[in-house]
Amino acid sequence: MTDQDVLLSQVAARAMQESGGAICCATGEQIIEAETLLGFSVPPLLSRLYQEVGNGGFGPDYQLLQLIAPEGRTAVSTYHAERTPRRWPEGVLPILDWGCAMYAAVDCTDPQAPVLLFEPNAVDDDWSNAWFEDAVSLSDWLHTWLSGTGWYTEEIMMSDDFSEPRPWPQVKQRLSREQAPDLDTHRERPSA
């Protein structure tokens, strides 16, 4: 059994306990459909989480969004709703809505699949100020949830040694890369 197998087993046990066993898993076909709609691959651990534990409905506080579903709000639909080059980088999949426009999101472009916190409430014009690194990997984020030591836990937030999530170091590069003008769109078309 791998470390990932053990982690998924622990997450599944907690998810079953909290949901009373009312969680349905995503299928392999749904993962492929989601990846097609997104235009990028979902990290292996996130794919396994949705296929082996459940298609949302478990996890910290407000629980993971469904990856994909015939109707209702999903990670895929939320990605498309939030995605703008100035505000939301390509390949960053929202997986949990914290409320108040805040999200936990996985950077699907990074092999470690870091979990990011999007907190736009105090941002004026510079969206890079809304992005924080919640965990260096999805695995670490899940371990934090299982151990009850996440920043979102009331006891942690009220403790004297509470430290807020750090700004995401790659955000300026990721957002600015997408803001580069497309030269082809600015060229005049020859008249007919």
pLDDT at 188: 47
| pTM for the model | 0.90
128-148: per-residue pLDDT in tens?
999 999 999 999 999 999 999
- Looking from the CA of 27 toward its CB, the CA atoms found within 13 Å total 5
171-187: per-residue pLDDT in tens?
999 998 776 554 444 44
Q: Which residues of the chain have pLDDT under 70?
A: 179-192
Q: Where are the domains of the chain?
A: 3-176
CATH 2.60.120.580 fits 3-176, yes or no: no
pLDDT at 180: 53
pLDDT at 189: 43
